[in-house]
Amino acid sequence: MPHTQEYLTPSIDIRYGAYNGTMLNSGYFWHFLGELYNWREKAGLIPNIRKIDHITTQTDPGKRIAAVKEILLASSYDYAYTFEDGGYITSVLEYKADLPVPRILVREPKHTNGIFHFFNELAPGRVGSLARYIGESYMVSDIDEVYRIQKEAATPFATGEIQGSAEKGFRWIETVPSIYTQNTVRYVQYYQDEKMPCCGEIINESPEDLRAFAQIKEEAAAISEILLPIDHIATRVFRHDREDAILEIVKLTHNYPWGAFIIDEMNSSTNPTRNVYHDPERYSPAKVFTAGNIGAPLHFLTARPSPTETFCLNFGRSLHHIAYDVKDDTASGPDNHNIDRVVEYVREKGIGFPGGLTGTREEGLRQVFTKRSALTGWVTEYVERFEGFHGFFTRKNVAFLTQAAGRDEIVPGATL
């Protein structure tokens, strides 16, 4: 096979920072990573992409308000406003209006067809539901230029031409969902302010719902200062898609592969990608890919579980979790963790944690997964890093968390 032999000798490109971890990549991966770096620098893509502006998730019809309440309860985000267009009713949540961190858009569809519905019908764990994570939107400084660059690179767009107008305050385009992740990438340019992430007419929520939103935030005041914005967005992909999914995000965004860690006991690897500006994650969250190490048809030959492949088979290639950062409370002693206070509060409010907390101050970080939400399809992660720890996990933590989440993600009678 001359096609693969050509790339047998990897030349590791670390122009944006060291490559971390234990997972080996193929020569194919390193070859095309270098080619993509060269292409996107020459094309001028990187200076055009500033940060993630918002993420979008979809609920079933009639479940948007309940999903908004759940996210308000589990995070420090506030309700901002709701708008309606031909296809969706969308609520916008902001961490703090004056902080340039990603917003969360929660939308409910007014129709029951379309590609995301089709993806759910293919996933045994989601049949009959329209709830699904849609993707990230990146703020760009010249959308015409980004569109031209990506079109010349054969990136397919679902929106055809650029939508919106400078007079309306913003223009945007959205890719066809990725064949590796089934998520979209959207590019958005603002012209006046950065207040309106999408088109449509502002609508008023009922006074009861507005009161309920306010009450949730009032009750959560004790944790609002220690619960920080989104830290990372974790997607699960099939083993055979791992390298291409990472290369695709390099093609579409300002991220670079930061490393890859094998988690042997859980038969998977975790592959974070981070922004090339080295901005803190809260401004431009990392996009993390988790993939199995052994393909599903071969699992019977091993004695190990494979929760990542199982997740992909049961729920489709998709977002697995959104992680919120928790403020480090170094001053209050070695056994005092802010994350424990967050978990205690959220648990009291009825959100389950299948495995409990893992990690210590000595290890650098402490983490936990919630139970998967039926409203959004997400798991929520909380992560507290101690004294400037820079990583996303310890190997031990990931094994523990993956196992805990896996117990929660088995679909009776579906597969494996």
Question: What does the binding site for Fe ion look like in residue numbers (CB under 5 A)?
Answer: 234, 323, 381
Burial (Cβ within 10 Å: 0-12, 13-18, ≥19) of residue 227: buried
Between 60 and 381, CB nearer to Fe ion:
381
Q: How far is the CB of 368 from Fe ion (least distance, A)?
A: 10
Cβ proximity to Fe ion: between 67 and 398 the closer is 398
65 or 234: CB nearest Fe ion: 234
Nearer to Fe ion, 56 or 271 (CB): 271
Nearer to Fe ion among residue 178 and residue 270 (C-beta):
270
Output the smallest distance, CB 270 to Fe ion, in A.
Answer: 8
| 381 or 409: CB nearest Fe ion | 381
Q: Least distance from C-beta 328 to Fe ion, angstroms?
A: 17
Q: Which is nearer to Fe ion, 130 or 398 (CB)?
A: 398
Output the smallest distance, CB 233 to Fe ion, in A.
9
159 or 403, CB closer to Fe ion?
403
- What's the min distance (Å) between Cβ of 162 and Fe ion? 33
Shortest spacing between CB 232 and Fe ion, in angstroms:
6
Nearest approach in angstroms of CB 288 to Fe ion is 6
Q: How far is the CB of 416 from Fe ion (least distance, A)?
A: 22
